[in-house]
A and B are shown apart, each in its own frame.
Chain A
């Protein structure tokens, strides 16, 4: 865990580094410890807003009647970072990119669990979000990260590592969506806490160390 401004790891070729936003750098910074060049691992990305800063800049450009940057356009879509990830590591396995809502991070865990139950040995889970541009009124919803943040986890149905159980919780919670939940999960994983419950009314989930 780090709160330093993200720097792209050396695995990302220089000519690709120039195209990484702060958010993309945070994603690579986190994911780089979970994958080596050429490693084939199915991956689930999850981001509530994706490259919202980049998208917003493009909307302003359109509003001003100017032409869009082809580079920004190609990197503004929701699966842009996952595409760069696939290129950088030469990972040709299936990659899914989710945009979760009230279920928060649970959607990504369910997706990854599904892949494991289909017989995959490991799944890489990459959760990331950045702050919304000032323009978007999000109150009363809690779905705004303070800064670019990313968490990468390699999960398997069995084997070494931290044993974790994940299930639905009947508790009525108000923990916001993924951009707010992300840090809570990261802190839980490195803490001595036994369990963590996160969610929203009717959509709560719990993680238990065992």
Chain B
């Protein structure tokens, strides 16, 4: 799941020079770490909705926690898909 998610991040966000192995599951996705920004967050939200039919609601969910890392994102998607 985590590797699948990494590939989704690379494809959805056009991270041409980055491979799945370059992304640490536990490092921050935004600002530091991978260095993504707020437009990436929207794009990634859309990609996750399309692929997993999981909607992350900025009003209800703790978005910062969910998007903290690949690991937290994978855990959240698996918990709501069940």
- Contact surface of A with B, Cβ cutoff 8 Å: 14-15, 18-19, 67, 69-71, 74
Contact = CB atoms under 8 A, between A and B. Distances in A.
A3 to B, nearest CB: 24
Interface of B: 13-17, 35, 37, 39-40, 42-43, 46, 49-50
B17 A70 contact: no
Contacts of A74: 39
12 contacts: A18-B14, A18-B16, A19-B14, A67-B49, A67-B50, A69-B46, A70-B42, A70-B43, A71-B13, A71-B40, A71-B43, A74-B39
Nearest to A14: B17
A76 to B, nearest CB: 12
A69 B50 contact: no
A71 B49 CA distance: 16
B46 A67 contact: yes
Given A18-B14, A70-B42, 9 more contacts: A19-B14, A67-B50, A69-B43, A69-B46, A70-B43, A70-B46, A71-B40, A71-B42, A74-B39
Q: Which of A14, A19, A70 has the most CB atoms of chain B within a 10 A radius of its CB?
A: A70
A129 B37 CA distance: 28
B11 to A, nearest CB: 12
Given A18-B13, A18-B16, A70 B35 contact: no
Contacts of A15: 35, 37
Contacts of B42: 70-71
A70 B13 contact: no
A74 B14 CA distance: 15
A18 B15 contact: yes
Nearest to B15: A18
Contacts of B46: 67, 69-70
B42 to A, nearest CB: 4
A71 B14 CA distance: 11
Contacts of B49: 67
Contacts of A69: 43, 46
CB-based closest 6 A-B pairs? A70-B42, A18-B14, A71-B43, A71-B39, A70-B43, A15-B35
A197 B45 CA distance: 52
Q: Which of B17, B46, B49 has the most CB atoms of chain A within a 10 A radius of its CB?
A: B46
A14 B46 CA distance: 23
Contacts of A14: 17
A15 B37 CA distance: 9
Contacts of B37: 15
